[in-house]
Amino acid sequence: MRLPTLLSFAFLTACAATGAGDADDDGGSGSADGSDGSDGSEACGEQLAVGWTEASHAKGTDGNYDRVFDDSRVMRLDIVFCPADREAQLADLEALLGGRAAAAAAAAAVDRAAVAAPEEGGVGADEDPLYVPVTVSFNGQSWPYVGLRYKGNSSLSRAWGEGSMKLPFRLHFRLHFDKFEEDYPEIDDQRFHGFQELKLSNTYLDGSLIRDKLMSDTLRDAGLPAAKGGFVEVWADSGDGPEYWGLYNIFEDPSGEMLDSWFGDDSGNLYKADGDAATLADANLANLQAAFEADGDGADHSDVQELVEILADRSMDAATWRAALEARMDVEDFLSWLALDALIGNWDNYGQMTHNYYLYGDPAQEGRLVWVAWDFNESWRHDGTRPALSVSRDEVGSGWPLIRRLLDDPIYAARYDALLAEHMATSLDVDTVRARMAAYHDLVAPFAEAEAAPFTNLGAIRDFEQSLEGGNDALYDHLDEAHALGAAALSR
């Protein structure tokens, strides 16, 4: 089965021999039956970079966004597994998540616990799934020994528990563990058109298959930092020929090229939130270090600790407190994100969950921390796996001080309301957003229609067909609801 792809994007693992055409070929590299000409049953052998150029393979070049993330095209990605690698990867996943029935029960129990205790974190295995080495081929070029592993919390564990094989994963173009670097020194500092890592979302609980990218686009158009995304069809061969794994949303890594492309300087301190202290209510340094993965020469968590201490400080008068907070954090950007996120709806982030955001010390702002939202598979719904917060955020307690303290301040509360109105008139303009939704829906329709169990998270194709209007979770209806909820919040 060969879908009408406009851009071929072929990924082959290190265990299978690869053929390559001309590096300048922009056409498809697959055959009419979906095969890329390789055979996963072949012996695992040494792989070489084919068509190597500095622009496409080397560190130090800017990310080629037009080539990797083209809004007008669905790229194709082919994965050929060495059967032994694939077997080991699936065995590792079962060891981490349990059998299908056990994983489904565990995920459901965590969901119930999260509703009862909304300040707790997400779901997922205690350890990361296994990496396997792969070779990436694209337009006649290849990148050997790329690392591939599964990722995600509920989008992984619940999909696995429900019997789906359409699971989220990530690709590292430079492997971050000594074993592969020692075995394959030729991959040192390898990049894919400037990108070190790509992450693929499996559209779990998303009948439209476009929510993740739609949210990223909306944030970026509003002037808020977010990873750039695109669409990709995934094929995989574990030795018995290529199988269609479905349509994925593909994203750059927020900690990678995005920092340079968005901020113009990637030398600032970066912190990835995932842990209890990511509520920003606990100033204990050890707890902050556990909750925020740090990247950067000066990323000692002292800047995050200072932010938490300012949020907790009630000794200053209001004007002095606001000045101290704004010296440590870009408050305007955070309020803008908070307002837009409230209108769109997304329960799986700050205010309910202690993950899915980064803090970046922007060098252009003398290290002020900037909020960077991440992971949008639960966005564009007010009543998803669990209800999203209200637009007013009145129910948010003191355990989430970056919301509660700001919205309890009359100056910031007034600015929040103004941003709600601005986003309703601009970022969420009904005609503009509907046009984008319709364009993406039409673009991915052939790929959605080709999905089949177990490589789909759609209950039925009508879930996709009615995802714009007519369905239980239709995007057009949700956009109208966002405006209605925003208007109600502003009239309170």
Burial code (b: 16+ CB inside 10 Å, e: under 16) for 382-393 equals bebbeebbebbb
Confidence of residue 10 (pLDDT cuts 50, 70, 90): very low
What is d(CA 13, CA 82) in angstroms, rounded to the nearest whole number? 7
* In the block, residue with structure tokens 């018995």: 240
- The SS3 call for residue 460 is coil
- The SS3 call for residue 249 is strand
What is d(CA 143, CA 59) in angstroms, rounded to the nearest whole number? 13
Question: How much is the pLDDT for 279?
Answer: 98
- Residue 273 to residues 248, 350, 433, Cα–Cα distance (Å): 24, 10, 30
Residue extents of the structural domains in the chain = 10-262, 267-425
Question: How much is the pLDDT for 35?
Answer: 44
Question: How much is the pLDDT for 137?
Answer: 75
Write the pLDDT tens digit of every residue in 433-486: 999 999 999 999 999 999 999 999 999 999 999 999 998 889 999 999 999 999
What is d(CA 222, CA 243) in angstroms, rounded to the nearest whole number? 38
Question: How much is the pLDDT for 143?
Answer: 75
Question: How much is the pLDDT for 400?
Answer: 98
Least confident of 150-154, 244-248, 356-360: 150-154
What is d(CA 298, CA 306) in angstroms, rounded to the nearest whole number? 14
- The SS3 call for residue 239 is coil
Question: How much is the pLDDT for 6?
Answer: 33
Cβ atoms within 10 A of the Cβ of 425, count? 10
Question: How much is the pLDDT for 255?
Answer: 92
Q: Determine the average pLDDT of the residues in 378-388.
A: 84
Query: Between helices 302-312 and 318-328, what is the axis angle to 10°?
Result: 160
Residue 415 has pLDDT above 60, yes or no: yes
Confidence of residue 33 (pLDDT cuts 50, 70, 90): very low
Classify burial at 259, counting beta carbons within 10 Å of its beta carbon; exposed 0-12, middle 13-18, buried 19 or more: buried
Backbone angles phi and psi of 98, in degrees to 5: 90, 180
What is d(CA 441, CA 468) in angstroms, rounded to the nearest whole number? 8
Residue 114 has pLDDT above 80, yes or no: no
Mean pLDDT of the chain: 85
Question: How much is the pLDDT for 187?
Answer: 72
| CB 35, CB 241: distance < 8 Å | yes
Q: Determine the average pLDDT of the residues in 385-398.
A: 92
Confidence of residue 47 (pLDDT cuts 50, 70, 90): low
Least confident of 48-62, 224-238, 319-333: 48-62
Confidence of residue 106 (pLDDT cuts 50, 70, 90): low
Torsion of CA 112, 277, 321, 421, to 10 degrees: -40
Residue 179 has pLDDT above 90, yes or no: no
- The SS3 call for residue 78 is strand
Enter the tokens of residue 143.
Answer: 């990148």
What is d(CA 446, CA 76) in angstroms, rounded to the nearest whole number? 13
Q: Determine the average pLDDT of the residues in 215-221.
A: 98
What is d(CA 219, CA 20) in angstroms, rounded to the nearest whole number? 38
Residue 11 has pLDDT above 70, yes or no: no
End-to-end CA distance of the chain: 55
- Residue 135 to residues 17, 166, 382, 434, Cα–Cα distance (Å): 9, 21, 40, 39
| CB 295, CB 270: distance < 8 Å | yes
Residue 14 has pLDDT above 50, yes or no: no
29-33, 85-89, 183-187 — most confident range: 85-89
Give the pTM: 0.87
Question: How much is the pLDDT for 103?
Answer: 59
Residue 9 has pLDDT above 50, yes or no: no
Cβ atoms within 10 A of the Cβ of 397, count? 12
Q: Which of 104 and 445 is assigned the larger pLDDT? A: 445
In one letter, which amino acid is 85?
A: D
Q: Determine the average pLDDT of the residues in 49-64.
A: 87
Tallying the residues shown for the chain, one arrives at 492
Least confident of 145-149, 243-247, 397-401: 145-149
14-23, 46-55, 149-158, 429-438 — most confident range: 429-438
| CB 101, CB 158: distance < 8 Å | no
Classify burial at 368, counting beta carbons within 10 Å of its beta carbon; exposed 0-12, middle 13-18, buried 19 or more: buried
Relative to beta strand 355-362, strand 292-295 is unpaired
